Structure 1
């Protein structure tokens, strides 16, 4: 007898698949649908992947009432108490992206709903982007490319860039987050000296990571490249203010792939206009800068529109990780990447 799609086989036992509803923005839903990213989900859950919820108040009440698992992504509507009342059977929220702060509320924890996030999958491309930025910064790749374009002939690079390179340069990592730890792993085989600041980490943990644990001001003073991987919290707002930015040594590069609010934009611009430091900014405050912002045109700035995280076919990796979590839920197993309320006080 054939097994219906969405039914799990677990040895000799047939495991009933959980009723699952997609909740996300239309643009990301269409993109994942076009990439066939949901194909595996139909084999581990009872789900109509052609449908998605953007607003719980406008969704089919019967669909919500039957939902056991909510499969979310960017643009998921807020899970308020009222929304949860429409989903009395909801037992799990599986987020196929990074931060859950935009849709998971205190009401979810009060209901005892299990939550999972693919933040660990999203950490991989951010760390890769950061590694490239670090290596390019120390080699002064942008400066070299600009000099080459202006001269239209082979520039005399050796005397001009004699002070640069990646041999035993000091890299400061701010935050032992998933991304921060992955960056440390990627840097380990290289001839770089790595400093780390994280108020929640002790020296034994730092030793296990193979880095030197130092205070934040010391890290900023000593590093040729400073890369920010701390969460967005009230206490981290403008952690890089005018005073701390002034500690950057001449020629240093500040990389921010975390959140724009961690850096005082006006203070950073003032420091960059002086030409004494460089910056690689994938996030800013505000998220979209005013058209007149000098950050668009300063020669010592690489400005990108929040592309360090998953994009294009990398979205499929997060979806696959989330599908694996739905499978584990269906088999009665705990999530591999479960998230609890306490973790949100120290995560992005």
Structure 2
């Protein structure tokens, strides 16, 4: 008897984490669902199911030899949200297999937190709270000696994908002059968002607030280091909101500790962060435990977007909500699985 297997291998997510009951019910209507969420699905089980598998939800390794054993496969839906080098993307394109991710579900909450953290750095909100609790607070103008207004400040955005574009829309009321560096985009896309295309050195040296939303690639790992931090304006703000590997993390800590810039970061080279990691005690840094995107609504959006596009794909229609992996760009990405949700 012919089977239509839906292989669900979603770690580090779980089905309940990303799908409301109604969405799970829709998933089960698409075929015979086989789930492994307490551990990654074993190779033997995957290989056994592949001949009848039509959809894969998760980060299952799918090199060409496995694709050869999956003649019915229509889509691989990455619900972790990073395209990783464990899939033969070119072979998937050639065979008409969609490889997609609902990563844009995180854009709005990450942008919201990015703005909140930028306002905190600019106005010294967390610092003022800590000073007050220690009995060393200052009032009025004296309490604003090292602050600046975010409204009207020059803003730089490094990486203008879903996150960068969402942030740009969110800050419109603040009337910022916005420069964008993204070598993967034509100037026309940046200009349509009322931003100015610029080189990275210009973004760093001319901006009062710099947001980093860049993905990690084979070309940009650690590309923001001591040289780049040194060219930033004294007292300017640097917010790392995408992947830790795009910066030289020790150099970033040093730049903040020296008082040259103020820093906020939601991501770290190793997560969870060790209890004795120097970043925990470094001055000048606002810390967030990779939590800005992980809101309840965003996680449920991962599941609903994934299932909605799976329904379209099973009807022979193209997905509309998720982003497709392009072999030319996926080959350059150096993402690694997240260890926390």
Specify the alignment match of 1:38 in structure 2: 24
- The 3-state SS of whatever aligns with 2:155 is strand
Displacement of 1:253:
1.6
Q: 1:197 to 1:32 in 2, by over 3 A?
A: closer
Q: 1:289 to 1:89 in 2, by over 3 A?
A: same
Specify the alignment match of 2:141 in structure 1: 158
Specify the alignment match of 1:132 in structure 2: 116
Aligned residues of 1:19 and 1:46 also touching (Cα < 8 A)? yes
- The 3-state SS of whatever aligns with 1:38 is helix
Specify the alignment match of 1:95 in structure 2: 78
Is 1:264 the counterpart of 2:248? The answer is yes
Q: 1:288 to 1:248 in 2, by over 3 A?
A: farther
**Structure with the larger RCO, 1 or 2 (CA within 8 Å, 6+ apart):** 2
- CA distance in 1: counterparts of 2:249 and 2:118, whole angstroms: 21
CA offsets, 1:48-90, max 9 Å, x none? 3655682352316554321111122xxx231123433443321
Aligned residues of 1:124 and 1:182 also touching (Cα < 8 A)? yes
After superposing the two structures, state which structure 1 stretch, 266-275 or 100-109, moved more.
Answer: 100-109
Aligned mate of 1:200, from 157, 165, 184 = 184
- The 3-state SS of whatever aligns with 1:151 is coil
Is 1:23 the counterpart of 2:9? The answer is yes
CA offsets, 1:139-158, max 9 Å, x none? 22111111221228x74043
After superposing the two structures, state which structure 1 stretch, 54-63 or 233-242, moved more.
Answer: 54-63
- CA distance in 2: counterparts of 1:155 and 1:140, whole angstroms: 12
Specify the alignment match of 1:119 in structure 2: 103
Displacement of 1:102:
5.2
Q: 1:27 to 1:196 in 2, by over 3 A?
A: closer
Q: How many aligned residue pairs are there?
A: 327
Specify the alignment match of 2:44 in structure 1: 58
The structure that has the greater radius of gyration is 1
Displacement of 1:325:
0.4
Aligned mate of 1:181, from 149, 165, 187 = 165
Across the aligned residues of Structure 1 and Structure 2, the Cα RMSD in angstroms comes to 2.7
Displacement of 1:161:
0.8
After superposing the two structures, state which structure 1 stretch, 303-312 or 165-174, moved more.
Answer: 303-312
- The 3-state SS of whatever aligns with 2:44 is coil
Specify the alignment match of 1:191 in structure 2: 175
CA offsets, 1:206-242, max 9 Å, x none? 2211112222111111212111111211221122111
Displacement of 1:323:
0.8
CA offsets, 1:125-149, max 9 Å, x none? 2222212222222222111111221
Q: How does 1:245-284 map to 2 (within 5 A)?
A: 245-284=229-268
Specify the alignment match of 2:306 in structure 1: 322
Specify the alignment match of 1:341 in structure 2: 327
Aligned mate of 1:293, from 268, 277, 283 = 277
Q: How does 1:238-249 map to 2 (within 5 A)?
A: 238-249=222-233
Q: How does 1:61-80 map to 2 (within 5 A)?
A: 63-72=49-58, 76-80=59-63
- CA distance in 2: counterparts of 1:128 and 1:105, whole angstroms: 35
Aligned residues of 1:125 and 1:309 also touching (Cα < 8 A)? yes
After superposing the two structures, state which structure 1 stretch, 204-213 or 79-88, moved more.
Answer: 79-88
Displacement of 1:173:
0.5
Aligned mate of 1:47, from 32, 50, 62 = 32
